[in-house]
Amino acid sequence: MIKYIGNAASGGLAIGKIKVINRRIIGFKRVVLATHREKALYEAAIILAKDEIRQLMRTSDNEHQNILNFQLVMLDDNGLNQMIQHHIAEGKGSARSVEIAMEEYCNRLKSTGDHYLADRTCDIRDVLGRVVDILDGRSRERFNLTEPSIIVADEILPSDLASIDRRFAMGFITVGGSYQSHANIIARTMGIPSVCGLDSEILNPLNNGREVCVDGYSGEIYITPNEGTVTLFTHRIKQEHREKQSLIELREKNICLDNGEQVEVWANCNDPEDITLAINNGAKGIGLVRSEILFMKSSLPTLESQYKFYCECIKAAKGKPITIRIFDIGADKQVDGIISEKEANPALGMRGIRLQYKYKELFMQQTQALFMAADKQGTVNVMLPMVSTVKDVVDYLEMVNELKKQLLDDKIIQKDNVKWGIMIETPAAAIISDELAKYVEFFSIGTNDLTQYTMAADRMSTDTVMYYDPLHPAVLKLIDITVKNAKKAGIKVSICGESAADAECAKAYIDLGVRYLSMAQNAMIPIKRRLLEDYPTRC
Ligand code: PEP
Ligand code: MG
């Protein structure tokens, strides 16, 4: 038995078989062979890539099949092949030649100014990335699991989580990542135990298929556990299950304050499946749907696919209030083809609503889909992420009003069923929240980013955790300002950062006047239990 200790990133316990997925081979060095050999390797890699894609097509839905079909066509593209062969003939080696040609080809498509072609570059990068991975002998495994497994990986991307089959993902163990990284936030909303920050030796391929016990509460991991450890984990898992069952009665309980006010517990979700779980677990509303997850599911969501997704989300909320966030792309949620220039500090760069000017069509398409879904299924709250100026909001809402008029005139929608709000997740937004309140109907405080930006502590970093404190007086002061300004303006204010699920933070926020706490759905019942102890008044 080998014991490792990492950072606990998503609560829960699991025992299962390891599946190692290492897409970043450290210290990997390419060797360039004779030109004719590199050419032969390249041709063999193309054949293998096609086989893999055909295999994937068998288990894919329609939308994904179209993308895979396009990728097959690209592997036969004459122009692209000639470019690659040309670089191989110059002695650059097959893998490097594919990479160079990929850049040239994608830049050429982008320079045509044709949006459709530019949008396809991420599919081209994906398929050529597969060819490069084959040539480098690197794992091409995406996270398509076929049996229950505990994934050990260099890192997990939000896109991996969007594509996995939840029935088979029992736990995550990673070298990279932090508690606040989006993949771990998503793991928590899915209720999958996760431990991050482990030594890279955990990626040893010999670990494949080995049994492992994962403790997502303490960060402990036991590979090839001894009998005693397995018995202990089995016992704890059963106990955890029994406890969850006994907590179910808390689903409908409310937290009541001495002054007669109530605190509502809402849920943060990624898709209709999460929303259904949350509503079944007693969520009084959905405080955040991270819509950018749509990009992780397929390359570029269409108007139709978004409309369908938002309709399903609203339906799953069963008449409870639901808040969908406009795409928050950027920082650690990069999307191929958007923000192509590498930024030195992506968290401080082009993220969220700041992209409205460069990608107006993309945002207006999403907004149209939201208007249409709200028209069909019922009212929806929509909020803007990463606001830092009044202009961010005014400019976006101006575009929204123009679009709405058009949709009403063209009878695409019959009524306006959308309420607009913003996220308060930068210190600037909190400080000018009195001004911002004039333009919107609600605020949602995102303490994940508000803490990061206030404390100048990267939410992804394990080194700055001592500064990353959502209870720091500076963060609390900003929340206080925001809540007071929201109340003065008569608009609703909630907290949807991860800290809402921490009892100490939740109490501090309640003291500051927050009455809506939104969190990962599996955190709702445990936090209710804690808060009911501290607020014993019943109503
Ligand atoms: C936040 O910043 O608190 C938030 C909820 O948004 P995200 O974690 O998606 O950045
Ligand atoms: Mg945020």
In 3-state terms, what secondary structure has residue 256?
strand
pLDDT in tens, 374-409: 999 999 999 999 999 999 999 999 999 999 999 999
Alpha helices (H) in 386-432, listed in sequence order: 390-409, 427-431
* Nearest C-alpha neighbor of 198 from the set 187, 210, 182, 214: 214
- Please state the length of the chain: 539
Ligand 1 pocket member 189 (CB < 6 A): no
Atom of ligand 1 at shortest range from CA of 182: 8
In short, whether 287's Cβ falls inside 6 Å of ligand 1 is no
**Plot region of 249 (φ>0 → left; ψ -120 to 50 → alpha; else → beta):** alpha
Does ligand 1 come within 6 angstroms of the Cβ of 447? yes
Q: Is the pLDDT of residue 300 over 90?
A: no
Q: Best substitution site from 425, 479, 517 to test ligand 1's pocket, by max atoms within 8 Å of Cβ?
A: 425
Element (H, E) at 102: helix 94-111
- What are the tens digits of pLDDT across the range 342-364? 788 889 999 999 999 999 999 99
Identify any residues that bridge with 211 across adjacent strands, giving them in sequence order. Answer: 17
Mean pLDDT of 412-431: 98
Q: Say whether 287 sits in a helix, a strand or coil.
A: strand
**Interatomic CA distance for residues 462 and 13, integer angstroms:** 22
- Considering the chain, what is the average pLDDT of its residues? 90
Q: Has residue 21 got a pLDDT over 50?
A: yes
Residue nearest to atom 7 of ligand 1 (CA): 448
pLDDT confidence of residue 26: 44
Q: Which atom of ligand 1 is nearest to the CA of 180?
A: 8
**Cα 143 to middle of ligand 1, angstroms:** 24
Amino acid, res. 105: Y
Mutate to test the pocket of ligand 1, among 448, 509, 516 (most ligand atoms within 8 A of CB): 448
180 neighbors 21 (Cβ within 8 angstroms): no
Does any ligand 1 atom lie closer than 6 A to the CB of residue 446?
A: yes
Q: What are phi and psi of 277, to 5 degrees?
A: -60, -45
Decide which of 537 and 276 is more confident: 276
Please report, for residues 20, 21, 167, the alpha-carbon distance to residue 207 in angstroms, rounded to integers and kept in the order given.
7, 11, 22
Task: Please name which of 51, 215, 43 lies closest in space to residue 135, comparing C-alpha atoms.
Answer: 43
For residue 333, the SS3 value is strand
Beta strand 322-325 with 492-495 is unpaired
The structure's pTM equals: 0.71
Ligand 1 atom nearest the C-alpha of 445 is 3
| Cα 358 from Cα 209, distance rounded (Å) | 46
**CB neighbours of 338 closer than 8 A, spacing ≥ 6?**
329, 355, 359, 362
Question: How many A from CA of 476 to the centre of ligand 1?
Answer: 17
Taking the mean position of all CA atoms in its chain, how far away is CA 10?
14
